Structure 1
Amino acid sequence: MDDPLPRSRAANERLHALVPGGAHTHAKYDDQFPEGLAPVITRGLGAHVWDLDGHEYVEYGSGLRSVTLGHAHPAVLDAVRRQLEAGSNFVRPSILELEAAERFLATVPSMDMVKFAKNGSDVTTAAVRLARAATGRRLVAVCADHPFFSTHDWFIGVTAMPAGTSAGEWADTVTFPYGDLDAVAELLDRHRGELACLMLEPATVREPPPGYLEGLRELADRDGFVLVFDEMITGFRWSAAGAQAVYGVTPDLATFGKALGNGFAVSALAGRRSLMERGGLCDPRERVFLLSTTHGAETHALAAAVVVMDVYAAEGIAEQLHAIGARLAAGVREAAAAAGVADHVRLLGRDSNLVFATLDSRGEPSQEYRTLFLRQLILHGVLAPSFVVSSALSEVDIERTVDAVSRACAVYREALDVGDPRPWTGGRPVKPALRPFA
């Protein structure tokens, strides 16, 4: 098949001429997909999407993990439509701001107050600012094993893409490895009394070691820094209340987003009242400019969030995600084993948040083998930069996915036997999203 996506390819070329990178999120750049196989999407319904060339795919990782109920979910769309007819932004708070806050705090009862915004970067940066104001300290510690916290300089400056950032912004950012309490204790010893906050995802592809999150909580209480859980991914995937509810450890501040709006733009900073009030009008101390965004409380997005939380509670969506992921994982592992590549195509993470590793003949991570695997999946109707599930996936979708994986694993085995995946990559390999040069 010389050019399976001619219209998508032409649209990608036009996008690159008009939009830096050809997309508005690095993870959606076409360098994340095999050459010539980066579909441009026209519509989605449930767990399926269609591209410009008329191909239909079973889709995983929908909306960068934000669409957990499936595309165009009827209840969400009905709520959004109703609200759009009533107006979306006013000069004073809408009643939906109260309703959404009440619903969120009932869903995440460990938190006392919440403030909504539109994206994850703004709420994590607000958490940093609030922690610095509350502690009078400057230093921020972020987990080095977790890939992304914010687009702002305090974080991007310590990644592989620091160009254009201000050293003054990220000079006070330090990193620590996940799962190692001793490393955090050593960091505190080196910077005694200097740490304003410690930010991490409570879990991703690794479960927290026994006592790890509890140990961080104890260190925060002892040292006086603010413990921040970034629950952009774990919120509504581990449980509706996030990983903090699963593991029984309450942070001082937590950030949510992604699945909260089922694809509509809404994020949240939540936390202890004594901290959050620093951004309000009821605290006698110096005020913190916490979050003040023109579109942060657009009513249609908050209406979507309220319905998402209602559906999660009524239908047990978090439990469904785990069950669907478990069925998919079993099928993928069986297919890999049958093809003799179980040591090379590996699933990682919680059943509700599955990713895959592609390893070469030496057992090392390989972008070329990832390209081969992605290419075969796409050619067989599965769009899966990960295997992160939505509740819209059916048994037929899972069977179709496992069949595509079986076909991909057969090609994978052939490439391993030959000792070279390049004949099956279709061109240049996929690349890391964060890297200093294109």
Structure 2
Amino acid sequence: MPRSDQANERLHRAIPGGAHTYAKGQDQYPDDCSPVIARGLAGHVWDVDGNEYIEYGSGLRAVSLGHAHPRVLEAVRTEIEKGGNFVRPSIIEAEAAERFLAAVPTAEMVKFAKNGSDATTAAVRLARAATGRALVAICRDHAFFSTDDWFIGTTPMSAGIPGDTTELTVSFPYGDLAATEELLRTHEVACLVLEPATQTEPPPGYLAGLRDLCDRYGCLLVFDEMITGFRWSDAGAQGLYGVSPDLSAFGKALGNGFAVSALAGKREYMELGGLRDHRERVFLLSTTHGAETHSLAAAIAVFDTYAEEGITARLHALGDRLAAGVRDVAASAGVGDHVLVRGRASNLVFATLDEKGEPSQPYRTLFLRELITGGVIGPSFVVSAGLTEADIDKTIDVVSRACTTYRKALEFQDPTPWTGGRPVKPVFRRFA
């Protein structure tokens, strides 16, 4: 990949980390297999060297319909010709808000932004204002909520964040109502922030139990639906499981790659950031580009495509086919206990375990390298609707060959000869 190698050098010279998202960084991929993308179409991408790949986890789960989706592009072209940003609201802001609330009926009001961090931080600010409490409780079992200090201060990358800020965030375990009630009993908590579901289904009654605890102890329930929104159902996880949070944050799939996120919730809280409430005002969300017309047009097109083409069901069907195939070939190669597929069919990840059954970055490096050299790229097995059944079948063939190499490394008890250099690294670490 000579052109990708040159492009990576250009990126690192001009951009800290060589990427605008840590999860897209070169350290997340093998040393000699870090392609730089030139273009994408449906479920495929091409790098600057001209290599073609079947892609998973598109745009970190944002491009759920597939790249350059014609319906989305047509909506964007039509809208952007009218102008993109004005001194007063555009009528499409009302249209997009109404369309969102029709899709997510558990919410009563919505405000758009450009990224998920702004939406979740606005939810935290609203909760603190509504309750008069400072402490925020986050689910310790979930990887990411915001780039803002209230969350990043709790991670290993806390440099530059005052300790006083970090002390205002506490945590609770997913699935454990008793531990969460003890936290609420002993602390004055403004809100519970969590993803309603991740790689496992919520235990029976768990989300409803959280709803009851929040009502009982006077705090707000905040769902981070960045991933679950639209991948779990058209109404998000809250619609699928029938539990209404006080506030929720959506993004990623909302714009099929165009920058749009949303804070949604109950009117009594959202109006704190409005002009029709007598209480002290909250500076909720106020972003110059938060309601760019073409991004809202993209969101409307996404809503319509999901509803008319059954996209959520298609994502699940593709994921089921992939998961079954990967498990079969891993078992056939004798690595079924080491190469694992986990998660909901619409949101699959893979785990790479070493000889002792422990998660291994070197074995992940081997696996990623084998996939990339076989024409498959992605940090996960998260599907998009742009993939075809033939893409899934080819992926399974590539995984089969990767598992054969994986078996050799396990027998050798050392994956190093197959990693191509240093192992991939976790995003959250104290030093580069």
TM range (shorter): over 0.9
Name the structure 2 match of 1:280: 274
Name the structure 2 match of 1:236: 230
| CA positional deviation for 1:168 | 2.8
| CA positional deviation for 1:167 | 2.2
| CA positional deviation for 1:245 | 1.0
Where do 1:406-425 residues align within 5 Å?
Answer: 406-425=400-419
| CA positional deviation for 1:240 | 1.3
CA distance, structure 2, for counterparts of residue 395 and residue 223 of structure 1: 49
The range that moved more, 265-274 or 181-190, is: 181-190
Name the structure 1 match of 2:117: 121
CA distance, structure 2, for counterparts of residue 134 and residue 404 of structure 1: 52
The range that moved more, 196-205 or 160-169, is: 160-169
Deviation string 1:186-224 (CA, Å, 9 cap, x unpaired) is: 111221xx1000000001112111111111000001001
Name the structure 2 match of 1:210: 204
Residue type of the alignment partner of 1:344: H
Which of 171, 185, 188 does residue 167 from structure 2 map onto? 171
Residue type of the alignment partner of 1:330: A
Name the structure 2 match of 1:347: 341
Name the structure 1 match of 2:251: 257
| CA positional deviation for 1:169 | 2.3
Residue type of the alignment partner of 1:190: T
Which of 17, 36, 49 does residue 53 from structure 1 map onto? 49
CA distance, structure 2, for counterparts of residue 165 and residue 356 of structure 1: 33
Where do 1:137-216 residues align within 5 Å?
Answer: 137-191=133-187, 194-216=188-210
Question: Can you give the 5+ residue segments of structure 1 that lack an aligned partner in the other structure?
Answer: none
SS at match of 1:386: coil
Contact 2:59 2:257 in 1 (8 A): yes
Residue type of the alignment partner of 2:387: L
| CA positional deviation for 1:396 | 1.1
Residue type of the alignment partner of 2:174: Y
Deviation string 1:307-337 (CA, Å, 9 cap, x unpaired) is: 0000000011011100110011111111101
CA distance, structure 2, for counterparts of residue 285 and residue 256 of structure 1: 26
Segments ≥4 residues shifted beyond 6 Å: none
Aligned residue pairs: how many? 432
| TM-score relative to the length of structure 1 | 0.98
CA distance, structure 2, for counterparts of residue 180 and residue 58 of structure 1: 39
Which of 99, 120, 124 does residue 103 from structure 1 map onto? 99
CA distance, structure 2, for counterparts of residue 407 and residue 153 of structure 1: 43
Residue type of the alignment partner of 1:249: V
CA distance, structure 2, for counterparts of residue 417 and residue 301 of structure 1: 51
Residue type of the alignment partner of 1:12: N
| CA positional deviation for 1:166 | 2.3
Name the structure 2 match of 1:365: 359
SS at match of 2:54: strand
CA distance, structure 2, for counterparts of residue 166 and residue 82 of structure 1: 46
Name the structure 2 match of 1:325: 319
Deviation string 1:367-419 (CA, Å, 9 cap, x unpaired) is: 00000000000000000210000011111101110010000000000110111
Residue type of the alignment partner of 1:347: V
| TM-score relative to the length of structure 2 | 0.99
Name the structure 2 match of 1:306: 300
Residue 43, structure 1, aligned to residue 42, structure 2: no
Which of 410, 420, 424 does residue 430 from structure 1 map onto? 424
The range that moved more, 167-176 or 22-31, is: 167-176
CA distance, structure 2, for counterparts of residue 296 and residue 167 of structure 1: 31
Residue type of the alignment partner of 1:21: G
Which of 290, 297, 305 does residue 296 from structure 1 map onto? 290
CA distance, structure 2, for counterparts of residue 190 and residue 360 of structure 1: 41
Where do 1:15-34 residues align within 5 Å?
Answer: 15-34=11-30
SS at match of 1:89: coil
CA distance, structure 1, for counterparts of residue 154 and residue 228 of structure 2: 23
CA distance, structure 2, for counterparts of residue 418 and residue 40 of structure 1: 32
Residue type of the alignment partner of 2:325: G
Name the structure 2 match of 1:222: 216
Residue type of the alignment partner of 2:283: F
SS at match of 1:54: coil
Which of 58, 66, 70 does residue 74 from structure 1 map onto? 70
Residue type of the alignment partner of 2:103: T
| CA positional deviation for 1:36 | 1.5
Residue type of the alignment partner of 1:8: S
SS at match of 2:50: coil
Residue type of the alignment partner of 2:173: P
Name the structure 2 match of 1:90: 86
CA distance, structure 1, for counterparts of residue 111 and residue 327 of structure 2: 41
CA distance, structure 1, for counterparts of residue 252 and residue 165 of structure 2: 26
Residue type of the alignment partner of 1:126: A
CA distance, structure 1, for counterparts of residue 176 and residue 3 of structure 2: 49
Question: Can you give the 5+ residue segments of structure 2 that lack an aligned partner in the other structure?
Answer: none
| CA positional deviation for 1:84 | 1.1
